[in-house]
Chains A and B, each alone.
Chain A
Amino acid sequence: MEIPYTVTARKDTGLFNAKVGIWLFLASEVMLFGGLFSAYVFLRIYADYPWPERALPIVPGLINTFVLIGSSVTVVFAWASLKMRQWRRFQIFMAITIGCAAVFMVLKTIEYKAKWGHQAVRMDDFTIIEGHAHYATILSDGKVEHFHTKKEAKKAGEKDAEVANKAAAAAKGKDEESGGSGKANLWKAGKPFKANALLFKPETIDFSMVRAHESWVNAMLEQTGKRNSRLITAEDIFLYGHIEDYSGTKSDPRSSKERAQKEAEIVKDYATAEEKRDHKFGENSLFIPAGTPLSYALLEKSRKVFVAGRAHNAETRTAILREKWKSVRRDLPDEKYWDQAPEARIDSATDLAEQVDEEGNCTAGSKVVSLVSTLSFRMDPPQPIIIKRSWIKRPVKGQDGRAELRDDTSLNAGDGEGGSTGLLESPLALSVDAIDFRWMAQKAEEAGNVPMEVIEQSWIFSKANKNGSTYKKIWKVHKKRIAELEQRLIDKYGKDEEGKPRRVATETDRYRVTWQDFMHYARAEHDRLMPGDSGFDDLRPKFWNGFAGPNHKNEEIHKLHAFPELEVPHHKVSLQSMFTPKWNTYYAIYFTLTGLHGLHVVGGALVLGYYLFFSKGLYRSDPEWLANRVEIGGLFWHFVDLVWIFLFPILYLM
């Protein structure tokens, strides 16, 4: 089939068709991005927290702007080369364009990676702490130790296991000599985990049959195994999924007493059975004896029984209700439905429960099965379980004695006897690269307090914080530097008629200690300089330092201990997150806008790549058609550039 107007223009529009098409598409794109920019404005105006203005590293954004502008120029040159029938030149310019797209995406990836790996904490007093979470490992004596990197934590865990097992082997030898069983309790090194996880020592864990998450169940099993413990059912459990197993047939109903007898028989049979495992009885019913170890397969099997039982119960109720409504409509035909409704209710005592005649014989069994939806396992002996922060359903408080996960798993610390709350001391440990008091200051002002006073009474400077003195020292230098800055602004811009300075330090200057500040103050301390001393300002990192943010692996930072350590007690943390959309609406809109833009870059590069690598044939047969195609692809590419021209200042500079 001949496609019309690929090269020649249509008379009514004066354009070849694809051009109208791409512009229609671009018009819709304008609306798409317009809506998202509108969302940005909305979120920023109505933010109830200090908006993180100028929070992103400028350099990657700046380079990306140059890259995209450059690629816009080369794509026009590629098109122009085709128009002049210079194939080789077209190839070169197109290749540069696609190379630019690749560079853009690489920089974007670096930027994203820095965000996803960067820990943020909001404390209950609205102090915001940013940094790099440490790694932790549980040692054989039950203690938790923190390390800067995963590698260090892993090594320490392995070394500890080695030492512990050597001791165990020695004990084993002694035991055998004295005629003991000689069973050694070998300790396996646990996986290192991020020090923002929660440690909980449960006595029992309840799993939801329906919602339990396979990988979480397996992770808990693995941890239990590594700590020489096990998860087993505490009591015999009977699960019924079929009504006949539960209450017999119509002609031969089974009372609850008979059912109890039958269950006792099954338990007795099991006691003498050779193979100790759960077993099926009846149509779709399951017996899980006490002491059965946890496995996801067991939960799955139980789920099938539960689902079958639930379906039966629902069907039964619906059928009874349908009959009831039929009779009500017959008896009260003139009433409105809301007057009929009270008569059409299910009375569980007469409609569902088992019926017994005057002599005590069961005349009809229960019409519905009793449902069990969670399986409870005992942890024997109780050992700490590492709960990842993303698993937790709601903040875990010590006094509750339990931790609930998002898949409805519940870790319980028993009945509170012995005072165990289950929650182990699991502080969030990190190397701090920024402290932000802006939100705290905002809250203080709202309450009519003096921000500075509230800030200086915060937890981070208190004696409760074992690193408190370090932060006090940094804060002292910071305050002095800001005072110097204020003085310099007055010197330069003067005061107005009312005697107020024309320019003052911003909230960000005052209340946010950035990673540049940390580095600056650490250098100054090393050189024994204080704010106001000559040479102090020269030590400040330049804006191109730290490409995509603070670099914790930087040797200088390491040597100067520029990023101090901090352990935030679990109960002081009100929100913790990486710099992801969860952290705040700024990062939500940042990832939406840049992510969508990034997808446009990838899509555009694919189309341009097709022109570069698969269009030689078309060039030979109809070069003008290919030139038009490249023009269309180029128009899209320019649009992608155009969106970035707005994104860059809005997200990086404002």
Chain B
Amino acid sequence: MADTPEEIKKAQKKYLLIGLILFVFTVVTVAVATVPWLDFGEHGFDAQDATIGLIIATIKAGLVGAIFMHLSHEKKTIYVLIVIGILMGISLMGLTGWAFEDPIEYGNSVEGDGFLNPEVKAEQH
């Protein structure tokens, strides 16, 4: 970690460079979304545009984390904390996945009380 005044003095150039790169990436993101000849995939917004946008955002976030937040050279304790945090964050995103396998099948019976599987319902009668 840059701790002595000399090292910090040297590191400042790096910070400035990263700032510039972040500016450039921002311009690229906007350009990809607005300039017609930079439009990937189909005309207009689509999955490819989303992927590109998110990849650029992730690179930018990585740079901020690694350089500005000194994560490129941190102590082990902090890595452990971050990994736990990110894993929890991702699992929260994963919660959306539950919606794809909804155990309650609603709306499949005419009567409207169809959270019971029709077959199960038939057995009950």
Interface flags for A637-651 (1: CB within 8 Å of B; 0: not) read: 011011001101110
A42–B30 alpha-carbon span in the complex (Å): 24
B84 lies within 8 A of A653 (CB): no
CA distance in complex: A496, B21 (Å): 39
Chain B CB within 8 A of A83 CB: yes
A355 to B12, CA, bound (A): 94
Chain B positions 1-44 with a Cβ under 8 Å from a chain A Cβ: 3, 5, 8-9, 11-12, 15-16, 18-19, 22-23, 26, 29-30, 33-34, 42-44
Q: How many residues of B contact A (CB 8 A)?
A: 51
Inter-chain contact B30/A638, CB cutoff 8 Å: no
Of listed A24, A34, A506, residue having the most chain B CB within 10 A: A34
Bound-complex Cα distance A76 to B69 (A): 9
Is the C-beta of B120 less than 8 angstroms from some C-beta in chain A?
no
Q: Considering the chains assembled together, what is the distance between the CA atoms of A506 and B5 in angstroms?
A: 56
Q: Pick from B3, B15, B33, B84: contact of A27, CB below 8 A.
A: B84
The answer to whether the Cβ of A35 comes within 8 Å of any Cβ in the partner chain is: yes
With beta carbons under 8 angstroms apart, the residue of A14, A46, A653 that contacts B53 is A653
Identify the closest chain B residue to A38 (Cβ).
Answer: B93
Interface presence of A503 (CB below 8 A): yes
A30-B89 in contact (CB<8A) = yes
Whole-angstrom distance between the alpha carbons of A85 and B9 in the complex? 12
* A653 and B78 within 8 A (CB): no
Q: Verify if A58 is at the interface (C-beta below 8 Å from B).
A: yes
Contact with A along B72-93 (1 / 0, CB 8 A): 0001111001101110111011
A626 CB → nearest B CB, Å: 15
| Given A27-B81, A649-B54, A654-B50, also A80-B45 (CB < 8 A) | no
CB pair A62–B45 under 8 Å, yes or no, is no
Q: B95 in the interface, Cβ–Cβ < 8 Å?
A: yes
Q: Does A136 make an interface contact (CB < 8 A)?
A: no
On whether the beta carbons of A15 and B75 are closer than 8 Å, the reply is yes
B44 adjacent to A38 (CB under 8 Å): no
Interface string of A11-50 (1 = CB under 8 A from B): 0011100011001101110110111011001100110000
Q: Is the CB of A642 within 8 A of B34?
A: no
Mark contacts of A53-74 with chain B using CB atoms, 8 A cut-off: 1 yes-contact digit, 0 otherwise.
1100010001001100110110
Q: Which A residues touch B11, using CB under 8 A?
A: 80
Chain A contacts for B88, CB-based, 8 A: 27, 30-31, 34
Please name the residue on chain A nearest to B17 by beta carbon.
A73
Residues of chain B with a CB closer than 8 A to A641's CB: 64, 68
Tell me, in angstroms, the Cα distance from A638 to B71 when the chains sit together: 12
- Closest Cβ of chain A to B82, distance in Å, is 6
Q: Given the complex of chains A and B, what is the CA–CA distance between A84 and B75 in angstroms?
A: 23
A41→B54 CA distance, assembly (Å): 13
The smallest beta-carbon distance between A611 and chain B, in angstroms, is 17
- Distance (whole angstroms) from the CB of B113 to the closest CB of chain A: 22
Q: In the complex, are the beta carbons of A509 and B44 less than 8 A apart?
A: yes
Pair A54/B19 contact, Cβ less than 8 Å: no
Chain B residue with the shortest CB-CB distance to A58? B30
List chain B residues, Cβ under 8 A from A84. Answer: 5, 8-9
Given A30-B89, A638-B64, A649-B56, are A13 and B22 neighbors across the interface (CB < 8 Å)?
Answer: no
Q: Which residues does chain A contribute within 8 Å of B75, judged by CB atoms? A: 13-15
Q: How far is the CA of A509 from the CA of B36 in the complex (A)?
A: 13
Whether the Cβ atoms of B30 and A72 lie closer than 8 Å is no
Cα separation A508 to B42 with both chains bound (whole Å): 13
Is the pair A34, B92 in contact by a Cβ cutoff of 8 Å?
A: yes
Answer whether residue B124 sits at the interface, using C-beta atoms and an 8 A cutoff.
no
Q: Which residues of A contact B18 (CB under 8 A)?
A: 73
Interface core residue of A27, A66, A509, A650 (most chain B CB under 10 Å): A27
CA distance A80 to B15 in the complex (A): 10
Task: Decide if A53 touches B45 in the complex (CB within 8 Å).
Answer: yes
Give, as a whole number of angstroms, the nearest-CB distance from B34 to chain A: 6
User: Chain B residues with Cβ under 8 A from A34's Cβ?
Assistant: 88-90, 92-93
Q: State whether A38 touches B82 (Cβ < 8 A).
A: no
Cβ of A508: which chain B residues have Cβ within 8 Å of it?
44
For B57, the chain A residues whose CB sits under 8 A away are 645-646, 648-650
Any chain B CB within 8 A of the CB of A505?
Answer: yes
Query: In the complex, what residues of A have CB within 8 A of residue B19's CB?
Result: 69-70, 72-73
The minimal Cβ–Cβ distance linking A543 to chain B, given in whole angstroms, is: 6
Inter-chain CA distance A237–B53, complex, in Å, is 69
Residues of B within 8 A of A30 (CB): 82, 85-86, 88-89
Task: Check A638 against B93 for contact (C-beta < 8 Å).
Answer: no
- Among B33, B56, B86, B92, contact of A54 (Cβ-Cβ < 8 Å): B33
In the bound assembly, the distance between CA atoms of A499 and B64 in angstroms comes to 47
Does A635 make an interface contact (CB < 8 A)?
yes
The interface residues of chain B lying within 8 Å CB-to-CB of A28 are: 85
Given the complex, which residues of B lie within 8 Å of A53, measured CB to CB? 45
A486 to chain B, nearest CB (A): 9
Chain B 48-64, CB within 8 Å of chain A: the 1/0 string? Answer: 01100110110011001
A-B contact pairs, 13 of them (CB 8 A): A13-B75, A27-B85, A27-B88, A30-B86, A31-B92, A37-B93, A38-B96, A45-B99, A73-B16, A80-B9, A80-B12, A504-B43, A650-B54
Question: Could you list 5 further interchain pairs (A-B, Cβ under 8 angstroms) beyond the known A14-B77, A15-B75?
Answer: A37-B93, A69-B23, A70-B19, A645-B64, A653-B30
**A residues whose Cβ falls under 8 Å from a Cβ of B:** 13-15, 19-20, 23-24, 26-28, 30-31, 33-35, 37-38, 41-42, 45-46, 53-54, 58, 62, 65-66, 69-70, 72-73, 76-77, 80, 83-85, 489, 503-506, 508-509, 543, 634-635, 638-639, 641-642, 645-646, 648-650, 653-654
The 6 closest A-B pairs by CB, nearest first: A27-B85, A34-B89, A506-B44, A73-B19, A653-B33, A503-B43
